[in-house]
Structure 1
Amino acid sequence: MSPTLSFPLNEAVSAILAAGVPSNLSSPKIGIICGSGLSGLSASLKEKFEVPYESIPGFLQSTVQGHKSSLAFGFLGDVPVVAMLGRFHPYEGHPIQETVFPVRVLKLLGVEKLIITNAAGGLNPANPVGTIIVINDHFSLPGLSGSNALMGPCPPAPFDMRFVPMSEAYSLEMRKAAFKAAHQLEFPREALAEGVYAHVSGPTYESRTEGRFLASLGCSAVGMSTVGEVVAARQAGLDVLVLSLITNAVIVTPQRSARDEVDKEIRGETIEVIAKEEASHEEVLEVGTRKAVEVGRLVERVVGILGGKY
Structure 2
Amino acid sequence: MKEKIRDVLAALESRLSVKPDIALVLGSGLGGLADELEDAIRIPYTELPHFPAATVPGHAGRFVVGRLHSVPVIAMQGRYHYYEGYTLEQVTLPVRVMQALGAETVILTNAAGGVNETFQAGDLMVIRDHINWFHTNPLIGKNEDELGPRFPDMSEVYDRSLRALAKETAQALGISLKEGVYFGLSGPSYETPAEVRMIRKLGGDAVGMSTVPEAIAARHGGMKVLGFSCITNAWSGTGDQPLSHEEVIETSERVKAHFTSLIKAIVKRMGE
Judge conservation of contact 1:41–1:293 (CA < 8 Å) in 2: no
Structure 1's 117 and 107: CA in aligned 2 closer, same or farther, altered over 3 A? same
Judge conservation of contact 2:143–2:150 (CA < 8 Å) in 1: yes
Q: Which residue of 2 aligns with 1:161?
A: 149
Q: Secondary structure at the match of 1:163?
A: coil
Q: Secondary structure at the match of 1:8?
A: helix
1: CA distance between counterparts of 2:219 and 2:138? 11
Judge conservation of contact 1:62–1:68 (CA < 8 Å) in 2: yes
Residue 252 of structure 1: CA displacement?
5.2
Residue 11 of structure 1: CA displacement?
1.3
2: CA distance between counterparts of 1:231 and 1:123? 22
Give the one of 94, 100, 104 matched to 1:112: 104
Q: Which residue of 1 aligns with 2:208?
A: 223
Structure 1's 154 and 60: CA in aligned 2 closer, same or farther, altered over 3 A? farther
Q: Secondary structure at the match of 1:138?
A: strand
Q: Secondary structure at the match of 2:139?
A: coil
**Alignment gaps of 5+ in structure 2:** none
Letter in 2 for 1:168: E
Structure 1's 290 and 7: CA in aligned 2 closer, same or farther, altered over 3 A? farther
Judge conservation of contact 2:183–2:204 (CA < 8 Å) in 1: yes
Give the one of 10, 16, 24 matched to 1:14: 10
1: CA distance between counterparts of 2:4 and 2:204? 36
Written as runs of structure 1 = structure 2, the 5 A alignment for 1:233-244 is: 233-244=218-229
Q: Which residue of 2 aligns with 1:131?
A: 123
Give the one of 52, 64, 71 matched to 1:72: 64
**Alignment gaps of 5+ in structure 1:** 256-275
2: CA distance between counterparts of 1:180 and 1:116? 18
Letter in 1 for 2:142: P
Identity %: 40
TM-score of the aligned structures, taking structure 1 as reference length:
0.84
Letter in 1 for 2:166: A
Q: Which residue of 1 aligns with 2:51?
A: 59
Letter in 2 for 1:170: Y
Name the Cα RMSD after superposition. Answer: 1.5
Judge conservation of contact 1:97–1:151 (CA < 8 Å) in 2: no
Residue 78 of structure 1: CA displacement?
1.4
Residue 152 of structure 1: CA displacement?
1.7
Displaced runs of 4+ in structure 1, greater than 2 A?
A: 153-156, 249-253
2: CA distance between counterparts of 1:279 and 1:31? 30
Residue 111 of structure 1: CA displacement?
0.3
Letter in 1 for 2:173: L
2: CA distance between counterparts of 1:288 and 1:31? 20
- Pick which of 244-253 and 92-101 moved more: 244-253
Judge conservation of contact 1:15–1:56 (CA < 8 Å) in 2: yes
Give the one of 269, 278, 291 matched to 2:255: 291
Judge conservation of contact 1:117–1:242 (CA < 8 Å) in 2: yes
Residue 7 of structure 1: CA displacement?
4.4
Structure 1's 101 and 7: CA in aligned 2 closer, same or farther, altered over 3 A? farther
Residue 185 of structure 1: CA displacement?
1.6
Judge conservation of contact 2:11–2:48 (CA < 8 Å) in 1: yes
Q: Which residue of 1 aligns with 2:177?
A: 192
Judge conservation of contact 1:7–1:58 (CA < 8 Å) in 2: no
Aligned length: 272
Q: Which residue of 2 aligns with 1:301?
A: 265
Judge conservation of contact 1:206–1:250 (CA < 8 Å) in 2: no
TM-score of the aligned structures, taking structure 2 as reference length:
0.96
* 1:177 equivalent in alignment to 2:169: no
Q: Secondary structure at the match of 1:219?
A: coil
